[in-house]
Amino acid sequence: MAEGPRVAAGRVPVVLHLCAPNQRPVQVTTDLSGFWARHYPAIARELRRRYPKHAWPDDPAHAAPPTRAPLRKG
């Protein structure tokens, strides 16, 4: 998704609260393409160290969603 969603017949952008894997917000934006281009590389670099098991694609605007790993029983 290059642009964020819009409501009111495309006139009003939705405010997106982008969260880290711990569900805490790391960015609030209405410009999703600007976030991917300007802010994501620095945020991903920082979060990649804290959450190495999560997928951090180099081009998130065009990346396929990661597949879910099967749940472990035990």
Three-state secondary-structure class, residue 36: helix
Q: Token match 């964020």: residue?
A: 4
Three-state secondary-structure class, residue 35: helix
Q: How far apart are the first and last CA of the chain?
A: 37
Would you kindly state where each structural domain of the chain is located, as residue ranges? 1-73
Q: What is the pTM of this model?
A: 0.73
Helices (H), the chain: 32-34, 40-50
Whether residue 21 contacts residue 54, with contact meaning beta carbons closer than 8 Å, is answered with yes
Both structure tokens of 37: 């281009």
pLDDT digits (tens, 9 = 90+) for 13-72: 999 999 999 999 999 999 888 898 999 999 999 999 999 988 899 888 888 887 877 777
